[in-house]
Each structure stands twice: as structure tokens, then as C-alpha cells.
Amino acid sequence: MTTDHFETLKRAWFHVRTNRFLWPIAFVIALAGGGAQGFSLWVQSPIPRGLTGVSPIHRIGTQITTFAHGNLAFWSLFIVLGVLVGLLVVAAGAFAQVAAIGAVAEIERGCPSGLRGAIQWGKNYFLKLFVLVLGYLVVLAVFAVPSYLFWWSVGKKGFIMPCLGALVLGVGFAVVSIFASIVFELSARYLVLEVRGIIDSVQMALILFKDFWRDVVVAWLYVLVVTIMGTISMAIIIAILGTPLSWIFNAADKHHNAFLIALSMVAFVIAWAVAAAAAGIFSITASSYWTLTFIDLK
């Protein structure tokens, strides 16, 4: 079976463009992730690197680090809270991703149930996808360990061995990451659309990959292009917002004025929201494309 991937991508974009109830879901996916090739604005801040030194978030982080220096109890509390917040973000991304998968499948069948129906999909299956996401992250972490150990033990010894080892490990990790991300996306659709268990979904995804590996690899490449386009759109937004934001941040940092500090916080949140809105359109299109590809292959 050969899928017309460009037509599938156009169909995915049409569904996103004409069903506006998907847009709030897209916003959450952009903020919290939820897909193997998705990106989270918790990592990709809309504030340029040159401005992060005076951004409100950076200043708060600096103050926390200074206060916690040498305080083991506070560091432990800070780490625990960080883990809990991270899990909450992952859970929100999983919920939004499940809602998107179910909603797009209903749209494709011609019976959309709107935002309420999408939320119901999320309630029914997000816990399983949450576990699947954690498993996916653990797999990536396990395969990243050899690279870390290599650089820790050999990285500073000579030139040829570190470079050759880095090349082999880098290529190996890239292959594993691509394979794992494809299996993750297919497993997520089996889990949600065919109401399978986590292990069963992964097994079925591996079988589907074996039968249609060319199609799913091409699908991964298409989603990669969509993701890159989303990143470019964020860069354009950053370039547009960069100058006025730098004025506000620098003024707040220079004068230590409560109003300017509050204004800088508001400006940061607005910039974050604008970047999330732009990124969300691409994220939900990529998710929809995977769902439609899965339906076509099935």
C-alpha cells in the first residue's frame, strides 16, 4: 500500500482549519507537548536568548538558586516540586493529544462531536497515553546513557576517538529516536482508536511498522517538515516581538519599578501565548496527519 502523503497532509490541514474547536487543544499541545515530534514551549521559550538574562522567569530562577545555595532541604523540596510540575505538564499534553486523536478520527468519519466530545476522549484514555509517554521518555533516556558515559570517560582524551565515538553514538541515538517516535505515534492511535492496552498497542505498532515501514518513515519526514515550519514561525514571532520586549525588560531591570516589573511579566505571558498559538497550529496539524495516516494504513 502506498499513501499519498501530501494529500493526507492537506486533509489534515483542512480539518484543523475548518474545525475551530481543535484550536484550544492545539494550544495545550504546544504548551505541554504530547507528541514524539512535538515541542513544548516550556523548553522553547519565546524570549530570545539575548533577553533571558533580564526576563522575569530568569530573574525568579536566579533568586531561587541564590536562596537555595547550600540548603539541602530547600533543594530537595525544589526538585520534588519540579518533578511534580513536569509530570503535570506531561499529563496535560497527553490529555490534549488523546483529545486531538479522537476528535480528528470523528471528523474523518463525518461525525464530529465538538470540543465536549474531544474532552470526553481525553477523560477516557489520557491515563494510558500518559503512561505510554513516560515509557517513551524512559526509552530515550536509557539509550542516551551510553553517550553520556562515553563523554564522561573518553570525551577529553585525544581527538580521533572522541569524534569517531560521538559520530557512531550520535547516529545510533538518532536512529533509535526516529524509530521510537514512530512506534510511539502508532501506539498512541492503537491505544485510543482501537481501545487496546499499552503493551498490545506497542506490539501492534511494531507489526504496522514492519508492514508499512516506508509509509511511516515518509510520514515521520513530513511531520519533521511541519515541525521545522512551526519553529521558523516561532523565530519570526520572536524577531517581531524581540525589540519591544527588550525595552520593557531592560527598563524593569534598570529602574526596579513595581509597575514596570508587572508590565514585563504581562508582556512575557502575552509573548508566550502568541508563540504557543503559532506553534499550536503546526502541532495539531502534525497530530492530525499522524491520525489520518494511521487510519489510511488500517
Phi-psi group of 46: left, alpha or beta (phi > 0 → left; psi -120 to 50 → alpha; rest → beta): alpha
Q: Closest by alpha carbon to 9, among 199, 295, 292, 298?
A: 292
Q: Closest by alpha carbon to 48, among 272, 210, 262?
A: 272
Return all residues near 260 (Cβ < 8 A) that are at least 6 apart: 248, 251, 252
**Per the structure block, which three cell numbers stand in for 224?**
519533521
Q: Which residues in the chain belong to E strands, given as ranges?
A: none
Query: How big is the CA angle at 106 (ends 177 and 211), to the nearest 5 degrees?
Result: 40
The per-residue DSSP string of 136-160 comes to HHHHHHHHHHHHHHHHHHTTTS-SH
Give me the pLDDT at residue 278, please: 80
Task: Tell me the residue range of the domain where 14 lies.
Answer: 5-297
d(CA 32, CA 55): 21
Give me the pLDDT at residue 276, please: 75
Count up the domains in the chain and report the number.
1
Per-residue confidence in pLDDT tens, the chain, 298 aa: 556 899 999 999 999 999 999 999 998 888 776 455 444 444 444 444 444 444 445 555 565 666 656 667 777 777 788 788 888 888 888 999 999 999 999 999 999 889 999 999 999 999 999 999 999 989 988 888 777 676 666 655 555 556 666 677 778 888 888 999 999 999 999 999 998 999 999 999 999 999 999 999 999 999 999 988 887 887 787 777 766 766 766 776 676 666 766 776 777 777 777 777 788 889 899 999 999 999 999 7
Cell numbers 470523528 correspond to what residue? 106
Instruction: Check: CB of residue 53 under 8 Å from CB of residue 115.
Output: no
Tell me which DSSP letter residue 53 carries: G
Give me the pLDDT at residue 31, please: 76
